[in-house]
Amino acid sequence: MRCHLPNLRRLAVASTLTALLASGCTSIQLQDSSLQSAGDALSAAQELAAGLESQRFLLRSAATFQERDEHEYAREVLLSTAFDEPAPEVADQYLLLSMDSAVALEDQEWAADLVTAMPETQYQQYPEDLQARAARLQDETYTLARAPLPSARFLMNIQPELLGIDQQQLNDRIWQALKETPDAALNDAATSAIGFENQGWYELAATLRQPGLSLEAQGRAVRNWRFNWSGHPGAETVPTELALLTQVLEQRPERITLALPLSGPLSAAGNMVREGFLAAYYAAEQESAQVATTDDSASDGAQVTATRSDENSHSQDTTPEGNEGSRARPHEPATPSNTSITIVDTNGRPFEEVLPELLASDPDLIVGPLAKDEVAALANRADLPVPVLALNYAPEQDAPTPAQLFQFGLSVEDEARQIAERIVEEGIGQALVLIPEGNWGDRIASALEERMQELGGIILDMERYSEEDNFRDVSAELLGINISRERAIELERTMGLNVEFEPRRRQDAESIIMVAEPMIARQFKPLFSFYYANDVPVFSPSIIYSGRPNPSRDRDVNGVYFTDLPWILDREPEFRQQAYESFDNLDGPLGRLFAMGADAWTLSINLPLMQQVADSRVAGHTGELWLDADNRVHRHQMWGVFEEGEPVIASGQDEQEEDDPEAREETDSVIN
């Protein structure tokens, strides 16, 4: 006869199996005190008939261990060869006990195996009074296994009361699971989906996963989906994150003051940031309107004025002199018709002194300053009267910064952390590191060491160099060649004979992190090969590439992987194509500042959502952007590799995730 579990004492269901035994599911009597270890249970089971009888005995044993909180013994029993093929009569009990111990032990691998053999409706196999406890256990198993798609299916077809939550919490969890599902797996699920609720959820996820979808477009997509799927649980109780979209659209700044040094020593940087900001602004207008207009009509949707900090405010054309009409300016209003951008030249006075003038226009947001010391001064204030998106970073400090201060820039620390993450993920986390001397190098070294330690990577050796150093000696020292030579010399002294010697590099190095500008990197990389490290992968931050292709010289860094801005590595997006056609000098450092300016606009309209939705991410021209708890914007850049002297987009983790339905996608946001 088929035995069902009549009760569940705790997640382990120990007392339930006691009841099963008493009800005649097996004739074997077991004294709890007689089981001291998993070995005792497995030995006793050998005296029973193989198959159903021994499996029932072992399930009772596992339940006893679980009741005593000895889950390691329970796991040993449940993963024994006796359960290579659980009998149908005890399959449900076996799954329930296994889920309990897998969760208790946080055994991710075991949980993943259980998920592959478990239907999303498994909890329905138990008596009605047990389904809530079984459902919660099944839910925890999906979470432990990092199986977002099965988890989403499970949640789509369960009553929230069984999990002790309400409909809002259930829909929030469904949406989170769908966001974590890789594209390939989501597409397959949508193709084979059956049922109104499932199909609706998949369509919503696919709609918001379209590349390049703006904030406003996402809001419209949610509204349209709710109309088309009237009566759907997600339409009646919208996931909190999606409901925030419409709220954020109302919170977008309507008056923005762009405060930059447009004259003086920093004028080249300031003007390029301004051009990127305005280009992205006009591109957003075009995306929203979907109607081509002339340059004159494009400006009707917004008011753009420019002022100098040391003069009376006055309106002027924002197109740079001698570059009339050159700005990449798509022509559709994407922002509210009353949006205004006031541009202020801050050259000549500290930002603190300029701030009262900036506030005179009653802005909803100030973008600037650009200089690091001015951002530091703002960070030391007690508060700020309006939100400020600074375009640099203040030194990290223990004291809290103003709640309305946001910091964004091209942080080399983010690049160092990204390199650490990649080499550890690829299993080559024992690294040799080469970093220039000086404060800039100190910042990279500090960020790299901290992230490597967090991830369990190991820096075997770190060499700091200057341009005056002999790079041959630096490379030999880094790779342990000098130590090898010293050993040979010592051996000759000990033996009193000349020893034939071929130096060897150190063998524990799995990767090399090289922080060097192009001219220096072209010297170091061949030296690595000369010193027998040609097979060790080399990783670098963006400093290795000027942004301008130079195949004849960059052949010397062939094979080096480096992280850089999407702006530099990927010219496919239409906005980037238009910008490169319209502006000169976008390949080098000024182009990176243009991209930063464009992302400053994107952040301006997305900051409210990024604040309210944890782990929100924005796909920008400088990388994937997100906020930390201190309102500092971090970036995750693209990966490139030099081939035949030219940088190409490197294949890597992103492609693997798309090809592997079981891979977990890192992007945790509705924002594209």
> DSSP for 132-183?
HHHHHHHHHHHHHHT-HHHHHHHHHTS-GGGGT--HHHHHHHHHHHHHTS-H
- CA 215 vs. chain centroid, Å, equals 19
DSSP bridge partners of 432: 461, 512
Position 337 scores a pLDDT of 45
Residue type, 100: D
> Left, alpha or beta for 631 (phi > 0: left; psi -120 to 50: alpha)?
left
Burial letters for 562-574: b for 16+ Cβ neighbours within 10 Å, e otherwise? bbbbbbbbeeebe
How far apart CA 501 and CA 485 sit, in angstroms, is 8
How far apart CA 573 and CA 143 sit, in angstroms, is 36
Position 336 scores a pLDDT of 42
Position 612 scores a pLDDT of 81
Residue that has been written with the tokens 């006055």 in this structure: 314
How far apart CA 229 and CA 221 sit, in angstroms, is 12
pLDDT mean for each 10 residues of the chain (672 residues): 38 45 42 75 89 92 92 94 93 94 95 92 91 94 95 95 95 94 90 90 91 76 92 94 79 91 95 96 75 37 52 37 34 48 93 92 95 94 95 90 96 96 96 97 97 97 96 93 56 52 80 98 96 95 94 96 96 89 86 96 89 82 94 96 96 45 34 35
How far apart CA 481 and CA 506 sit, in angstroms, is 7
Expressed in angstroms, the distance from the first to the final Cα of the chain is 55
Helix (H, G, I), strand (E, B) or coil at 453: helix
> Do residues 65 and 40 touch, judged by C-beta distance below 8 A?
no
> Do residues 465 and 436 touch, judged by C-beta distance below 8 A?
yes
Count CB neighbours of 551 within 10 A.
13
Strands 538-540 and 458-465, how do they pair?
Answer: unpaired
How far apart CA 301 and CA 283 sit, in angstroms, is 13
Residue that has been written with the tokens 């041959």 in this structure: 472
Position 518 scores a pLDDT of 97
DSSP bridge partners of 367: 258, 389
